[in-house]
Chain A
Amino acid sequence: MRLAGKGLVDRSTPVQFSFDGTTYKGFAGDTVASALLANGVKLMGRSFKYHRPRGVLSAGSEEPNALITTGKGAGQEPNVRATVQEVYDGLVTRSQNAWPSLDFDVMAVNDLGAPFLGAGFYYKTFMWPKRFWEAVYEPVIRKAAGLGALSGKSNEDTYERAYAFCDLLVIGAGPTGLMAALTAARAGADVIIADEDSLLGGRLNAETGAVGHQSGAAWAAAVVAELSSMENVRLMSRTTVTGAYDGGMYGALERVNQHTSHRGGGAPLECFWRISAKHAVLAAGALERPIAFQNNDRPGVMTAGAVRAYLNRWGVTPGKRVAVFGNNDDAHRTARDLAAAGVHVVALIDSRNDVAVPDFDGRVFKGAQVCNAAGRKELESITIRTATGEEALQVDCLAVSGGWNPTVHLTCHMGGRPTWREDIQAFVPTDGSIPNMTVAGACNGVFSTQQCLNDGVEAAKAALKALGKKNADVEVPKAEDAPYQMSPLWAVAGKGRAWLDFQNDVSVKDIKQAAVENFRSVEHMKRYTTQGMATDQGKNSNVAALAMLADATGRGIPETGTTTFRPPYSPVSIAAMGAGAQGHGFAPERWTTSHKRSVEMGAPMIEAGLWYRPSYFPKPGESTWRQSCDREVGYVRNAVGVCDVSTLGKIDIQGPDAAKLLDFVYTNMFSSLKVGRVRYGLMLREDGFVMDDGTTARLGEQHFVMTTTTAAAGNVMRHLEFVTQALHPEWEVSFASVTEQWAQFAVAGPKSRELLNGLLDEPIKGESWPFMACGPVSVVGVEGRLFRISFSGEHAYEIAVPSRYGASLFDILLKRAEEMGGGAYGMEALNVLRIEKGFITHAEIEGRATAFDIGAAKMISAKKDCVGKTMAARPGLVDEDRPQLVGLKPVDAAKQLTAGAHLFERDAEAVRINSKGHVSSVGFSPDLGTMIGLGFFARGPERHGEVIRMVDHLRGVETEVEICHPVFLDPEGERVRG
C-alpha cells in the first residue's frame, strides 16, 4: 500500500508494467518489488525445491525469494531480482518455478513429501539401478527443480566491455563511500565511485535520521551533485563491483539500459568494466540477517531494514498490521518509523530482557520470540512465545532483524578469510586481505551513521597518503550516533521447519542432519545441504547456517570458519563478460587480397588459422568437389595454375647478424646462401622436435625474407624474438612481420614462365631465373619480388607485390592463365600436388615428429649449433624403430585411404598396442588414378614395396596399402628445374 507524502519516488511520473499478465501502476524510481508491494501483491515466487509460496524478503541485490523473468522472446532474462529491477513503461515480468500458475502450483506437492526430501536425499534415494541416474532421475529432478529458464533463442541485445582507471575506487555510495569520495575528490584524486543501486546514498535513502541540517537522503543528493560537477570524479550508479583481482584490478557490471525500454539503440544493455585502481575504499555496507523460526518464509515476513526501506524510500508499507521482531535496537527503529508514518504496529517483540524500548502505540514483548507463522500465500498471524506461554497475533507483515553482517565478500576474493567479532556477532574483513584496499563503515563493523561518515574520511585520508596526495579540508556533518547493541539469536527453538537459505530451501534441520551424518566441515555441510549455493549465494543465510553448524558440532563460530567467497558478488551475465567476443569478435577473419574475387568465383572458403582460403573453384557442370580439384591439379601439371599464398608468414630480417640468427634457428646453413637465392629450411624446438619449415630468400648481404607456414607464423615470430632478446641480445639484427604487406601468388606449371613473361617488364630469359633464384622484378610497372620456388614439383614461381596491388595482380594472373588453358587452384588441389611430391605440412610436422622421422636428419648441420640440435640427438629421437615418413597407396587402386587411420602389420590384430604408425595426409592423384597418402610407419624407409593394413576405427575403413617412397611423381625433380 502506498502512503501519501512518503518516499523518494517520482509521483509525477507514473509507470505501467505487468506481472504474470496483470498490469500494475508504479512510479519512476520504483523497483518491481516496491511497486508490487504498493499494489498489495505479496506472493512473488515459488521456492526451488518445495515450491513454497514466497514473498519479498529484502530490498536489495541479496534477495533470495522474489526472482522474476523479465522481457519476452530472445530478450527474455530469467532470475532477475524484483528488488533490483526498476520499473519502466511496458516492462513485462512474470513469476518462475510455478505451474500452471504462481497462485496454484502443482509441484507444491513436494512440500508434503518434505520428510523424504531432506539434505542429501539425492544421494540416498536415486542409487539404484545405476543407469537410471542419467536416463531418468536426473532429467526428472532437473525439470522439477530450478528457477527461471532461458528463451533458447540467440541473444540480440548488445553488451560492452570497457576499461577504466583511477587513483581511488570507492565501492559503495552510502554515507561512508560518499564521504570517502568527497574527501579524495576535493584533494584532487581521480575518483570512481560505484554503487549497485540506481540512487546513490545507500541506507541514507532508507532511514529517517538527519545528516547535518537536512535529511540523510537530501545530504546524499547534495554530495552526489557536488561529485557530479567535478571533472576528476566518475559516478557509476547501477554498477556492481563484482570481484577484486590481482594488481588493483576490479570487475564491475554496469546495468546501462536494464531500467529502460531502449534496446539496440547504440547504448549497450550492460557493460562489464575492468577497473584499474591504485587504491580502493570498500564501503559496501552490511546485510541484515533474518532469524529462523517455524514457517519464517511466509510471504509478509521481511527483514526490518527492508521494511524501513520500502517505507522511507518508496513510500510503501508492506502491511497494514505489522509486528516487529528483533534481537537488536534496529527493530525499535522500524517500529518507530512505521508508527510515525501512521501504520498500525501491532507489537514489538525483542528477544532481550533488559532493554529500553521507545514509547509507541502498540504492545511490547521483552524476552520474547516469534516461534511460528501462519498463512500460506500471505502472512495471517504469528505465534509469540514468552516466559508465560504462547500467544497468536493477527498480522499481515512481520519485520525481522537478527543483526547485520558486514559485506566482506570482496575482501575474500584473493584468498583472505574474514575475522569473527564477538561483540557484533559477525565476520569483519581481515586487514590487508586485498593490497591497497581500505575497508570502512558498516562493512568494517561500524554501524552508526556518524561513525560511518567519520570512517569514510579516515579511509580517504589513508588512501590519499598512500597516493602521495595532500588532504583536503572536509567537515563531517553531525548524524545519528546510537550504539549498536544486540544479543545473538540465530534460530528459535521448536518443531517444524525453520528456514535459513530461502532460495535453496535449506532449513535448520538440514544443517543439523548434515552434522549428524558427519559432514562437519563447513565446506562439506555447504555441499551436502546446498546451503548458500543458489544464485544469491546465501547472502542473508550463510552466517546463521555457520552458527547452526557450530552449535551442532560443539565448536565456536570462528573455529567453524566460513565457506569461500568467490567472484562475482552478484550474478553477471555471460553476455556481458563475453561482450565483443561473439561471432566475428570471437575469431576475427583475415582476408587475402584475392578473397573477394575467390568468393565471386563460387569458391567455398575454408579456415586456416584466422585466414580464409579458397577450397576449390567450381565450374559449371561439376557436381562434386573432386571434379573441381582434379581439374585444378591438371592445370598445374599440364598448363599453369594460380594460387594465393599470401597467408604464409613473411618475416623481413635485416642486419649484420641476420645470417647468424638464421643459422641458429634453422638446422641447416643460411650464412652460405648467395644473394639472390632461396633455401628450404627446417626449424626445431629446443626439445629436438620439428617446429616449422619454410623457405628463406636472401635479398641482400644483410637482408633476408623468411617464410613460415600459415599456422605457425605467430609462433615463429615469437621464437625469433626470444632468441634475439633472451639468448643473443648481442646480435645486431632486426626483423618485422610483413605478412600483410605483401600479396604473394604461386604461378605453377609448365606454362608458368610463359605467363609471367607477358607481365614482367623484363622477361625471364634462358637461365636468368634458375630454380631457387629470387630477386626484385618490375611487374606491369609495380616493384615486386619473384621467387623461383615450387610446392607442386612443377616449374613454378611465386610473385609478390605490395598488398594494395594484390587484387588486380590476381585478376591479371587469372585472365592470362585461363587464356593458356589453366586457371586458379585452391587448397584441395594444392594438397594433392604436394602429397604427390612428398612435401610435408603441419599434418606431418604436428609437434611429435623429429627431423629423423621426416627423413631430414642430415639437414641438421654438423658445422654449427642450432636450436634443438643437442636434444634432437637423443637416442629416443633417432631410434630406427620410430615411425618414419613413407608414401602409401592402396593395393586395390579403387580403395580408400583416410587421414588419421592407424597402420598395422598385415597379420596383426588392429588394436592399439599393435599400431606401428598412422596416415597423416591423403588425396586423390589424377595422374596415378588412385588415392595416395603420406604417413609414418616404424622402420618405414626400409620397407618400401611391402603391404600392410590401414584401419580407420572411427570411420570403419580398412584397406591394404603398399608402403612406397613419399615422392610419387617425378622423383628426379626434372620438372621443377626444367
Chain B
Amino acid sequence: MRIDCPMCGSRDRREYYYQGGAVMLARPAPDAGEAAWDDYLHLRENPAGETEELWQHDGGCGAWLVVTRDTVSHEISNVALAEDVKRAMRKAS
C-alpha cells in the first residue's frame, strides 16, 4: 500500500503512522457537552466503503494527512493536508 503525500509524493505505507477517523479534526468547544465530547472521542463510523482517516507522514515530512480510503477495495481516492482540511472547515462554519 502506498500513500501519495502532498509534500513528498508517493511513499510506502511503512513511512506513515495511522491515527483513526478524520473526525478528530472537529474538536468540540469545551462547553459542547458530554454527548459531543463522547462522540468526538469514542464513537466512530465503521463503513463498508469510503472513509476519511488521519495518517501522519512521520517517516517523512511529518505532515498530518486526511486520507480518503475505501475500506472494501482499499482504494485511496484522495489525500489532503490536514491543515488545509481544517482551514476549509473553519471557512465553511
Contact = CB atoms under 8 A, between A and B. Distances in A.
B37 A247 contact: no
A725 B1 contact: no
A730 B88 CA distance: 12
Given A727-B27, A870-B37, A247 B86 contact: no
Contacts of B64: 721-722, 725-726
A246 B86 contact: no
Nearest to B90: A730
Interface in A147-168: 163
A123 to B, nearest CB: 35
A247 B87 contact: no
Contacts of A686: 27, 41
Nearest to A435: B75
A718 B2 contact: no
Nearest to A165: B10
A245 B1 contact: yes
B54 A871 contact: no
Contacts, number: 64
A380 interface: no
Question: Which among A686, A870, A871 has the highest number of chain B CB atoms within 10 Å?
Answer: A870
Contacts of B73: 435
A430 to B, nearest CB: 14
Interface in A840-872: 865, 869-871
A249 interface: yes
A725 B63 contact: yes
Interface in A228-287: 245-249, 274, 276
B62 A721 contact: yes
A630 interface: no
A594 B91 CA distance: 52
Interface in A79-121: none
Q: How large is the interface on B (under 10, 10 to 19, 20 to 34, 35 or more residues)?
A: 20 to 34
A537 to B, nearest CB: 24
A212 interface: no
Nearest to B87: A729
A658 B83 CA distance: 17
A274 B12 contact: yes
Contacts of A414: 74
A807 to B, nearest CB: 29
Contacts of A274: 12
A317 B26 CA distance: 73
A337 interface: no
Given A274-B12, A718-B58, A721-B62, A727 B86 contact: yes
Contacts of A276: 2, 10, 12
B25 interface: yes
A865 B30 contact: yes
Contacts of A865: 30
A818 interface: no
Interface in A196-245: 245
A830 B17 CA distance: 33
Nearest to A727: B27
B56 A247 contact: no
A378 interface: no
A729 B37 contact: no
Nearest to B72: A415
B30 A869 contact: yes
A458 interface: no
Given A687-B41, A726-B25, A865-B30, A721 B2 contact: no
B2 A248 contact: yes
A726 B28 CA distance: 13
A870 B30 contact: yes
A686 B75 CA distance: 31
Contacts of A730: 87, 90
B7 to A, nearest CB: 11
Interface in A725-769: 725-727, 729-730
Given A247-B76, A718-B58, A725 B41 contact: no
Contacts of A725: 63-64, 81-83, 86
B2 A249 contact: yes
B37 A726 contact: no
B30 A726 contact: no
B24 interface: yes
Interface string B1-39: 110000000101000010100001101101000000100
A729 B66 CA distance: 14
Contacts of A718: 17, 56, 58
Given A163-B12, A718-B17, A718-B58, A249 B1 contact: yes
A163 B74 CA distance: 21
B73 to A, nearest CB: 8
Given A246-B74, A718-B17, A718-B58, A729 B2 contact: no
A77 B90 CA distance: 61
A687 B27 CA distance: 12
B12 A721 contact: no
A208 to B, nearest CB: 44
B75 to A, nearest CB: 7
Nearest to B83: A729
A246 B17 CA distance: 17
Interface string A404-448: 000000000010000000000000000000010000000000000
Given A718-B58, A721-B64, A865-B30, A726 B82 contact: yes
B24 A726 contact: yes
B86 A729 contact: yes
Contacts of B87: 729-730
Nearest to B75: A435
A435 B73 CA distance: 9
Contacts of A249: 1-2, 12
Interface in A120-174: 163
A29 B6 CA distance: 49
Contact of A726 (B54, B62, B76): B54
A713 to B, nearest CB: 13
Nearest to B25: A726
A163 B13 CA distance: 13
Contacts of B41: 686-687, 871
Interface string A55-76: 0000000000000000000000
A721 B83 CA distance: 10
A718 B59 CA distance: 11
Interface in B49-64: 54, 56, 58, 62-64
Contacts of A687: 41
B44 to A, nearest CB: 14
Contacts of B56: 718, 721-722
B29 to A, nearest CB: 8
A871 B19 CA distance: 20
Contacts of A721: 56, 62, 64
Contacts of A722: 19, 24, 56, 64, 82
A245 B12 CA distance: 12
A868 to B, nearest CB: 10
B81 to A, nearest CB: 7
Nearest to B1: A246
A971 to B, nearest CB: 35
Nearest to B73: A435
Contacts of B82: 722, 725-726, 729
Contacts of B19: 722
Contacts of B75: 435
A722 B82 CA distance: 9
B89 to A, nearest CB: 10
Nearest to A728: B86
Given A276-B2, A729-B82, 16 more contacts: A163-B12, A245-B1, A247-B1, A247-B2, A247-B74, A722-B24, A725-B82, A725-B86, A726-B24, A726-B25, A726-B54, A726-B82, A727-B25, A865-B30, A870-B28, A870-B37
9 contacts: A247-B74, A686-B41, A687-B41, A718-B58, A722-B19, A726-B24, A729-B84, A729-B87, A870-B37
Closest 9 CB pairs between A and B? A729-B83, A246-B1, A726-B82, A247-B2, A246-B74, A725-B83, A725-B64, A865-B30, A247-B1
